[in-house]
Amino acid sequence: MAKIISIGTALPEYCHEQNEILKFMQKAYVLGESEARKLAFLYKQSEIQQRYSVLNDFTKTENEWDFIIPDYSPSLDDRMRLFQQYAPELSVAAIQNAINGFIDPGQITHLITVSCTGMSAPGLDLQIAEALQLKSNLFRTSVNFMGCYAAIHALKMAQMICDFSPNANVVVVCTELCTIHFQQEYTQDNASSSLLFGDGSAAVLVSNTVTSGNALTLKSFYSEICYKGKEDMSWQLSSSGFLMKLSSYIPQLIHEDISELVSKALKHCDLLKDEITHWCLHPGGKKILEVIKQQLSLSMEDLSCSRKILSEYGNMSSPTILFVLKEIMQGLEEKPAKIFGVAFGPGLTMETFIASKE
């Protein structure tokens, strides 16, 4: 059986307090008093305390900004150069953190890279393989542009690999540099993105040969697409970077569909809701967590790991659900556990997993 052996994480150098990011946004968007006050209210309601970025502009004075320059929008080329500069080192650090004490880099048999904030060919997979001196016959594949639920999709691929490769040591690494796609035009979508997203990387070692006292067995996956929400969450390429659309209707869509989704996912694994001991919820935002809590009749304790990650890192897109899962794994006791995970992304796609500690 495929098992999650460990999860490693890595963060950029710069940690920015949310109130400092707010001051930056008010200046960068050149907001008047009324709009600045509205934005401040939204930041206060976000329950995010800090976020990480490869950019240091967010806590510097206006005349010291390096990347975000008034009256100039960085090109897609500019943004991809930053991704090429920072994504490989973050990915390598996360992988080293995940495999340390379990396997050497040369024992990695499969590498799955995940990102929706940067792409190239040769890409992140080859950069990681070269940096870690992985085997030249390494199996590698990439999950691109799936957004916040992509880590679950990659875990599903890792399970399939382990099922058909008896000696597999699969590494999944999710690396996103969301902040390099900051857009200077003040719109609802751009303001929502700049309030919510941060940068980070998470790596998972999935194996059917390595053992660990805290390992989780991947039991089941289930996903659905809510086509009525396809216009409410999207991620498009443009000459000035990647453009995010985040409709205020997304929490309502989740409100309408989350109960049925969870019921189907549990039935798919022949489980009852009361058998779930831990809820690994993607913290897409405060309202999304509130809706899930209400619709599934969860407690504040059930949401504690998700709320902690949202507060300390914001939404990092694909790595975020793995940050939550790592937090859950660190708190597991000797007794058995059943974990239900769910994340959301463009489509509107809802992806779930169930993992257990026996």
Q: Looking at per-residue confidence, does 66 or 238 come out higher?
A: 66
The mean pLDDT value for 9-33 works out to 95
| pLDDT at 318 > cutoff 90 | yes
- 324 closest CA partner among 336, 338, 337, 312: 312
pLDDT in tens, 263-306: 999 999 999 999 999 999 999 999 999 999 999 999 999 999 99
Are the beta carbons of 206 and 3 closer than 8 angstroms? yes
| pLDDT at 257 > cutoff 80 | yes
Say how far apart CA 56 and CA 60 lie, in whole Å.
7
Domains and CATH numbers, the chain: 3-207 (3.40.47.10), 216-357 (3.40.47.10)
pLDDT-derived band at 226, boundaries 50, 70, 90 = confident
pLDDT in tens, 25-39: 999 999 999 999 999
Q: Report the range of poorest mean pLDDT among 71-75, 155-159, 321-325.
A: 71-75
pLDDT in tens, 122-180: 899 999 999 999 999 999 999 998 889 999 999 999 999 999 998 999 999 999 999 99
| pLDDT at 92 > cutoff 90 | yes
pLDDT-derived band at 58, boundaries 50, 70, 90 = very high
265-271: Cβ within 8 A, 24+ apart: 265/220, 265/222, 265/340, 265/342, 265/352, 265/354, 266/340, 266/354, 268/220, 268/222, 269/219, 269/220, 269/222, 269/354, 271/338, 271/354
The encoded tokens of residue 353 equal 């997993």
Q: What share of the chain is helix, strand, coil (3-state, %, to 5)?
A: 45, 25, 30
Q: Specify the pLDDT at position 234.
A: 67
| pLDDT at 9 > cutoff 70 | yes
Residue 209 identity = T
pLDDT in tens, 233-256: 666 777 777 777 666 668 888 888
- 267 closest CA partner among 224, 300, 230: 224
Q: Specify the pLDDT at position 66.
A: 84
Q: Specify the pLDDT at position 133.
A: 97
pLDDT-derived band at 96, boundaries 50, 70, 90 = very high
Q: Specify the pLDDT at position 177.
A: 97
Q: Specify the pLDDT at position 343.
A: 94
| pLDDT at 352 > cutoff 90 | yes
Q: How many CB atoms lie within 10 A of CB 258?
A: 20
Q: Specify the pLDDT at position 249.
A: 63
Contacts of 315 (CB under 8 A, 6+ apart): 148, 178, 196, 197, 198, 283, 284, 285
Q: Specify the pLDDT at position 330.
A: 94
pLDDT-derived band at 231, boundaries 50, 70, 90 = low
User: Average model confidence (pLDDT) for the chain?
Assistant: 92
The encoded tokens of residue 346 equal 């463009």
| 52, β-bridge pairs | 15
Q: Specify the pLDDT at position 68.
A: 82
Q: Specify the pLDDT at position 232.
A: 62
The mean pLDDT value for 95-104 works out to 98
Q: Specify the pLDDT at position 74.
A: 87
| 3, β-bridge pairs | 207, 217
The dihedrals phi and psi of 206, each to the nearest 5 degrees, come to: -115, 130
Contacts of 230 (CB under 8 A, 6+ apart): 346, 347, 348
| Burial 230-243, CB ≥16 within 10 A → b, else e | eebbbbeeeebbbb
